[in-house]
Amino acid sequence: MIRSVLVANRGEIARRVFRTCRSLGIGTVAVYSDADASAAHVREADIAVRLPGSAPADTYLRGELVVRAALAAGADAVHPGYGFLSEDAGFATAVTDAGLVWIGPPPSAISAMASKTRAKSLMGAAGVPLLSSVDPAVVTAGDLPVLVKASAGGGGRGMRVVRDLAALADEVASARAEAVAAFGDGSVFVEPYVEGGRHVEVQILADAHGTVWALGTRDCSLQRRHQKVVEEAPAPGLSVSLRDTLRDAAVAAASAVDYRGAGTVEFLVAPGGRAYFLEMNTRLQVEHPVTECVYGVDLVALQIRVAEGYALGAPPSPVGHAVSARLYAEDPARSWRPWAGVVHRLSVGAGADAEAGAFGVRRRGLRGGGPGPYIYGPVGRNPSGAPTLGPQIHVSVPDPHPCDPVTSRGALSAGLRVDSGVDDGDVVGVHYDPMLAKVIAWAPTRAEAVRRLAYELERARIHGPVTNRSLLVRSLRHPEFLAGEMDTGFYDRHLAELTDADEAGGIRLAALAAALADAASSPSRFGGWRNVPSQPQAKRYRAGDDEVEIRYRLGRGGLVAEGFDEVRLVSAAPSFVVLEVGGVRRGFEVACYSGGDVHVDSSLGSFALAVLPRFPDPTTRTSPGSLLAPMPGTVVRVADGIAVGKPVRAGQPLMWLEAMKMEHRVVSPADGTLTALHAVPGRQVEVGALLAVVTTEETTP
């Protein structure tokens, strides 16, 4: 029996595993980098061991340090989570060689699937349908579009869609460079790119006694940069025969490598309904909660039980539908730019402290945590004498449902789950993935689950860095998604409309509410009431790239605000303002934080404002043509042939920054001449740092 587990990971997945361990009576050990010294997963563990340094290559990717930490902490098992070393066969071997239990598949299975090219060969021999690879040297215009993929890749790294034959060589070189930086292996391959394809995967779970469960399908077609954003189970709109094909292929893939534990077999489903094997992930997937919600199981608990030698019984039956959305600290409207900073508040669902109506009525709830109560049947014996463990099968929706989280702070309302890597006050740093949380909704039908998830996300209180929350809500309500007709090109087609900032009226009302809340917090209350005309009070805010000025005064007739003829002030307090707009009352919750950040939440949406000084500082202007770092990160490379004094074209890549596990191109804003270059590979830069200057005829003094 396992008594203590070290999780060789961080953030949300470490907390996820810890919660299951606690429910099973298993001790927990965290590892942490210097950047994560005060992280939530460190605070939750029974024991924590430091990995000196901040970069992943110096900390979470150092297998020998992780094994040493497990031994020092007295752990008897290691759970890898996902990412980092989770699919490193050498690390799995080192764990078992140290006398520890590896909660994952055999190293031989990991090794067999580690290379996508080798995995394809194995799957072809097992009869699994494949897309044939193409030699980059012989690709013709007739073969386009093609997809360049890193052989050792994952998480969208080292992937490029190529539609122009002239760009193929550069894209292959770029993919190789990114693959070397991310995986230490620059090998890539090319395969046909299927337009309009869907990303569908099958969750598998196998024991050491020959049993393989295929726990239904998941659709993960909504992706940005080949990374998943929205997932659901079961995948909608599949025929019975296609579901059977996917299940049989997934079981065959697992059997071909003598698989054990949890894993995922991923497929590309072409518009005609034909499925092709993509890869097998020999670990727990980020999106595993939707399967847990539908099948009423705890996959982490089952991983642990399989590692302890238990045999699986009969698989459970699915109930209902679950949809998950990944909440990222990023700006989809600006090329998915990640954001770092303090998470002042993250509260979703019944945990939102305020469901504030026009009259200030509030309900206070509990913030959500992780996976909930999972019910297991008795441990028995199968005919071969091996111990069995099977989830109890419910023929109706259990109460509470397995999707309901239970934490030390309580449970959310039925059918909603939040798996988060941060708590209020935590910092999103530049070294790791910018995912804040996964929000999962379960309901008897897909339409109900989608509606619930959009509703809860829209009303969540998320204060701090810019997030993709608005994009998620709009995606879930898009007609194409509601009809279940999405594919991997969804954001290529719809990103502009999904990020259109049609919120001018809401921003101005939010700024007015912020100004009135600020006035209500001052001793003089609204600048003092006067019976004679006076100069209006003025407040300036920045919302995104826009500036909003609010000018108001309070007289005998009430509020008089410039540009708000139909707005009447009902009440104002430092954190809550009620306005009547055209006869309709709306409540505005106002939260102010140090540094001048103000967040306003209402039925019109959630708006982040920055307080601006009354008189702007003229010295803060930058020279025309200056290219500034859009985020803190590391300059990983500068484009070949780039040099001061040489001409550049509009849109030409000049350099690449790496931040939060993603590469970001910095391109020339116009045709001109590169007159300054401050970017050096390996240089750490802060947001706003000067990288280069491109001079055009218009910008020449």
Contact present, 648 and 642 (Cβ < 8 Å)? yes
Describe the crossing of helices 446-458 and 469-476 by its angle, rounded to 10 degrees. Answer: 150
Contact present, 607 and 506 (Cβ < 8 Å)? yes
Contact present, 546 and 612 (Cβ < 8 Å)? no
Contact present, 152 and 88 (Cβ < 8 Å)? no
> Going by DSSP bridges, is the β-strand pair 647-648/633-638 parallel, antiparallel, or unpaired?
unpaired
- Give the count of beta carbons closer than 10 Å to the beta carbon of residue 581: 16
Radius of gyration of the chain from its Cα atoms, rounded to whole angstroms:
27
Contact present, 235 and 524 (Cβ < 8 Å)? no
Cα separation of 249 and 253, whole Å?
6
Cα separation of 509 and 586, whole Å?
10
Q: Is 465 helix (H, G, I), strand (E, B) or coil?
A: coil
| Longest distance between any two alpha carbons in the chain, whole Å | 93
The alpha carbon torsion through 402, 405, 411, 413 (nearest 10 deg) reads -60
| Pick from 695, 698, 692: nearest CA to 654 | 692
Name residues whose C-beta falls within 8 Å of residue 30's C-beta, 6 or more positions apart in sequence.
6, 7, 10, 14, 18, 41, 42, 44, 45, 47, 48, 49
Q: Is 264 helix (H, G, I), strand (E, B) or coil?
A: strand
Which tokens is 225 given? 């940069």
Cα separation of 177 and 298, whole Å?
38
Which tokens is 433 given? 């993935």
The catalytic residue among 283, 337, 474, 508 is 283
| Pick from 588, 614, 591, 597: nearest CA to 506 | 588
Active site residue 22: no
Cα separation of 103 and 108, whole Å?
14
Contact present, 234 and 321 (Cβ < 8 Å)? yes
Active site residues: 283
